[in-house]
Amino acid sequence: MGTTLSGFGHYVPDMVVTNAELETRLGLSAGWIERRTGVIARRYAGDGETLCHFAVKAGRMALQSAGIDPAEIGLVLLATSTPDHLLPPTSPLVAHHLGLACGTLDMAGACSGFVYALALADSFCRTQNKSVLVIAANILSRRLNFEDRASAVLFADAAGAVVVTPVDEPHRGVLGLDLVSDGSAYDFIGIPAGGSAAPFGEGTTITDTRMAMRDGKGLFIKAVAAMAGCAQTALSRANLQINAVDYVAAHQANTRMVELVAATLGVDPCKLVGSISAYGNSSAATIPLSLSMKHQQRQLTSGETVLMTAAGAGLSAGAIVMRL
């Protein structure tokens, strides 16, 4: 038995935040953000929008794209760093709004969360013969510290989703996989307060509840190496060369990172699938968002091979080679 991606979906909020707006707010020169990051604009959640709202929108689009009976969904995986609440998890509510009563799981894998969720979904499909709805969604605008320019100019809000479906052909689905971590970079980026190590209390400041990038340069170097390294290992395990891949979807952290990973791997630029310029960095959501947008432009079809690679906070990283 194998698997395939039978449906794609995404959601981005209506509020467009331009570079000019942020450059004025942060005291940056005109053009600084695009030159440094490749981001031209990004989307922020509107008043009243929640992470569940994002996930339901993307998930419903993916289910409709797959044309699947909801009863065939055996599991919903939600990759997010910004759940509606610390407790309870958000995925049961997402499933409820989608009319699903299957198992659900929130996965806090930061920027690599979608790759990890997809690996689990493929295994579940093969062993249980049931489809899996994988959603990655984040509302990072509500965790920005505008005193920290390095992160404030990058992060944005979006959701992406895929339906992973079992098929009879064993040569389809995940062909190669590599998942790694490097805890030496654990605190390079994060949110200081809110966990059991530093719970909310009377002394908690607003800044402590916002994202902080302690070592952006170090994170960049390690993330590029991890994304490229995982991709090379995944290709090797799939017994494929990079020129056999039809599309490469790298985590959209910033343009320079994607370009370096692509150059290291020897990727033909025309095979890159991305969304960074118009939608910014929505962490785990960037890969499924990019895939869904590509599918809208030109349907991804059976037999095509996609390489996905990502790295982020923790540091966690992973790559998957998947044949549709």
| Secondary structure of the chain in HEC code, one letter for each residue | CEEEEEEEEEECCCEEEEHHHHHHHHCCCCCHHHHHHCCCEEEECCCCCCHHHHHHHHHHHHHHHHCCCHHHEEEEEEECCCCCCCCCCCHHHHHHHCCCCCEEEEECCHHHHHHHHHHHHHHHHHHHCCEEEEEEEEEHHHHCCCCCHHHHCCECEEEEEEEEEEECCCCCEEEEEEEEECHHHCCCEECCCCCCCCCCCCCCCCHHHCCEECCHHHHHHHHHHHHHHHHHHHHHHCCCCHHHCCEEEECCCCHHHHHHHHHHHCCCHHHECCCHHHHCECHHHHHHHHHHHHHHHCCCCCCCEEEEEEEECCCEEEEEEEEC
Which tens digits make up the pLDDT trace of 96-142? Answer: 999 999 999 999 989 999 999 999 999 999 999 999 999 999 999 99
- Tokens matching residue 115: 């790759």
| Residue that finishes a domain, picked among 167, 182, 206 | 167
**Are 128 and 225 members of one domain?**
no
- Tell me the residue range of the domain where 123 lies: 2-167
**Are 155 and 190 members of one domain?**
no
User: Catalytic site residue 270?
Assistant: no
Mean pLDDT of 25-37: 95
| Cβ-contact 164, 132 below 8 angstroms | yes
Q: What is the pLDDT of residue 13?
A: 98
Nearest to 155 by CA among 298, 303, 41, 237: 41
Count of other CB atoms within 10 angstroms of residue 220 = 18
**Are 250 and 179 members of one domain?**
yes
Number of domains in the chain: 2
151 by Cβ neighbours in 10 Å (0-12 / 13-18 / 19+) ranks as buried
Highest mean pLDDT among 58-62, 69-73, 298-302: 58-62
Q: What is the pLDDT of residue 216?
A: 85
Nearest to 228 by CA among 184, 180, 294: 180
Choose the weakest-confidence range: 42-56, 204-218, 268-282.
204-218
Catalytic residue among 19, 125, 281, 295: 281
**Are 7 and 155 members of one domain?**
yes
User: Catalytic site residue 53?
Assistant: no
**Are 80 and 189 members of one domain?**
no
Nearest to 287 by CA among 299, 273, 305: 273
Whether residue 212 is predicted with pLDDT greater than 90 in this model: the reply is no
pLDDT confidence band for 150 (50 / 70 / 90): confident
This prediction has a pTM of 0.97
d(CA 145, CA 127): 43
**Are 179 and 128 members of one domain?**
no
**Are 203 and 319 members of one domain?**
yes
| Cβ-contact 244, 321 below 8 angstroms | no
Mean pLDDT of 268-295: 97
**CATH number (domain holding residue 226):** 3.40.47.10
Which tens digits make up the pLDDT trace of 159-185? Answer: 999 999 999 999 999 999 999 999 999
- Tokens matching residue 44: 């922020």
Mean pLDDT of 297-316: 95
Which tens digits make up the pLDDT trace of 69-101? Answer: 888 999 999 999 999 999 999 999 999 999 999
Catalytic residue among 19, 52, 111, 254: 111
Catalytic residue among 10, 251, 254, 295: 251
**Are 246 and 128 members of one domain?**
no
**Are 81 and 121 members of one domain?**
yes
**Are 12 and 132 members of one domain?**
yes
| Residue that finishes a domain, picked among 114, 142, 167 | 167
User: Catalytic site residue 111?
Assistant: yes
**Are 163 and 200 members of one domain?**
no
**Are 184 and 135 members of one domain?**
no
| Residue that finishes a domain, picked among 144, 167, 190 | 167
Q: What Cα–Cα distance (Å) separates residue 185 from each residue in 218, 226, 260, 317, 318?
A: 8, 12, 20, 12, 15
For the CA atoms of 238, 244, 249, 254, the dihedral, rounded to the nearest 10 degrees, stands at 110
Whether residue 214 is predicted with pLDDT greater than 90 in this model: the reply is no
d(CA 7, CA 187): 36
